[in-house]
Amino acid sequence: MRVHIGTDHAGFELKNRLVANLTEKGHEVIDHGAHEYDALDDYPPFCTAVGEGVVADAGSLGVVIGGSGNGEQIAANKVRGVRAALVWNEDTALLARQHNDANVISVGARQHTEAELEQLIDLFLAEPFSGEKRHQRRIDLVARYEETGGYDDPEGAGAA
């Protein structure tokens, strides 16, 4: 699988190790930076680059890393077509894919050990979307809102 990855200084060392780790596991990794350590760099350009890469590369997934993962998730989600999920345990990693068909995982390098983060990312990358109708309907509602600023299908909004 092709994996787009990016971080600022907070996850710089971790990202470099993850690139090697994911490559060893057979993934094709596209590194959107940071490519050198800069304690004053800003995460949004790296995270939006990951999001743009994922949207332009059908079937790929993305990983954004920060200190907490919060801002990185917000930045990635500004890219139309990105469904970035902040993941902090195994359940959130699995459910992000199963229920939300998330295409980007956001993790906090300062919140977990490296082994824990590797496990969360591995789970996320391996888990498929369930394809259940109710989940797809909800994803479609979010996409419709993203596209139009509203829910123009009264049957879809709030349907059980």
What's the pLDDT tens digit per position in 4-55? 999 999 999 999 999 999 999 999 999 999 999 999 999 999 999 999 999 9
Query: Per the structure, how many domains does the chain have?
Result: 2
One domain for residues 104 and 140: no
One domain for residues 79 and 40: yes
Nearest to 47 by CA among 27, 68, 28, 26: 68
Cβ-Cβ contacts under 8 Å for 87 (sequence gap 6 or more): 69, 93, 96, 105, 106, 107, 120, 124
- CATH at 35: 3.40.1400.10
Q: Which domain holds residue 137?
A: 130-160
Tens digit of each residue's pLDDT (9 = 90 or more) over 58-106: 999 999 999 999 999 999 999 999 999 999 999 999 999 999 999 999 9
Order of strands, sheet of 104-108, starting from the edge strand that comes earlier in the sequence: 28-31, 2-7, 61-66, 104-108, 84-86
Active site residues per annotation: 72, 99
One domain for residues 69 and 134: no
One domain for residues 109 and 146: no
One domain for residues 145 and 82: no
One domain for residues 25 and 60: yes
